[in-house]
Amino acid sequence: MNLLVRCFLVFALLVGSSGALLARGEAAVLAVETTPAGPHSIGDRVTVVLRLRTDADAGAPELFPPPASESVEWGRPTVQAGPQAGEWIVRIPVQLFAVGRLSEALPPLRVGTETLELPPLSFEVKSVRSGPGASLLRDPKPPVVLDRRLWWPFLLALGALLAGAAGWLLRFHRRRPQPAPVLHPPSPEEWIAQALAPFAERRPQDREELRRYLEAVANCVREYLHQRTGVPAPRLTTSETLLRLRPRLPEGIATELAAILSGADAAKFAKQTPETFQPRQYVARVLEISRQIGQRWGDADQKARRPAADQWA
């Protein structure tokens, strides 16, 4: 039992023998002790035993909730009657969680209508490393010595692995197919110019080849009219096409357009072809009519189907 606890017990016994009261009213502390006695180790569970004397009519004392503390944890107290009338034994469990000399305030007692303030209680807690069981805390395994020379091969292997991964990613990126560039569709005027470009240099050798030539150029013109005006000329007859376009075309352009389409119909169905034919002048005439029709309908491109240039050839 440490010196402070012994002094406190002697003081309590003196107070009890002289009959002096430690608080107002009819209650007095006869003895204060800890079980087991100190010194203690961190984590020990200790029971604080208080012996009280009160008047016979005061009843059993009531203990207030213990104060909060970071060094100890108070348990639930129990109250038991002593061997003589008016004597009471209060047991308070406590667990120690700090090293050093601890001074903890005991919770006050209520005896009847009076409150008995208890003096603080001291504990001396030692570390387990300084006790007799300190040898049990030593690591039975010897310390591991790390050979630093092993780091260089490891770092070289890691660098080679990272370089190989970077090379593989670069090769995969190069071999990955690139998306096709987005091409804007040509305007109807650009399309018919591209479609009729081969016809300007083609020279029909006989009437059958000339008939097919005129029919292919007329089909290109019909597709152009479909793209520019929205009139489905490839599926309509020449008369139906002209009937829909004539209200918005000047008389001269309508006449030239009718001559091209009707000449192709005559070559296709009646096998009638002109005696003299100049491909360059014919293609230039068709392109000029197309340009004039495009001016009448505006320059906005139509998102219609764009067939290949030689589809009708």
CATH T-level fold of 3-129: Jelly Rolls (2.60.120)
Could you count the other beta carbons within 10 Å of the beta carbon of residue 1? 12
CA dihedral 17, 22, 27, 33 (to 10 degrees): -70
Which pLDDT score, from 0 to 100, does residue 226 have? 92
Q: Which two tokens stand for residue 280?
A: 């360059």
One digit per residue, the tens of pLDDT, for the chain of length 313 reads: 455 545 455 455 544 444 433 334 456 777 788 888 777 777 788 888 878 777 766 677 777 777 777 778 888 888 887 787 778 888 888 888 777 787 777 777 777 777 777 778 777 887 766 656 555 555 556 666 666 666 777 788 888 999 988 888 888 777 767 666 767 788 888 899 999 899 888 888 888 888 899 899 999 999 999 999 889 999 999 899 888 888 888 888 888 888 898 988 888 888 888 888 888 898 899 999 999 888 887 643 444 444 444 443 3
Exposure string (b/e) for 3-16, b if CB count within 10 Å is 16 or more? Answer: eebeebeeebeebb
Q: Can you give the pLDDT at residue 50?
A: 79
Please give the DSSP secondary-structure letter assigned to residue 181: P
Query: Domain map of the chain by residue range?
Result: 3-129, 188-297
* Cis, peptide link before residue 83, omega less than 30° from 0: no
- Supply the pLDDT for residue 247: 85
pLDDT at residue 9, rounded to an integer: 52
Q: Return the bridge partners of 126, or none.
A: 41
d(CA 95, CA 78): 16
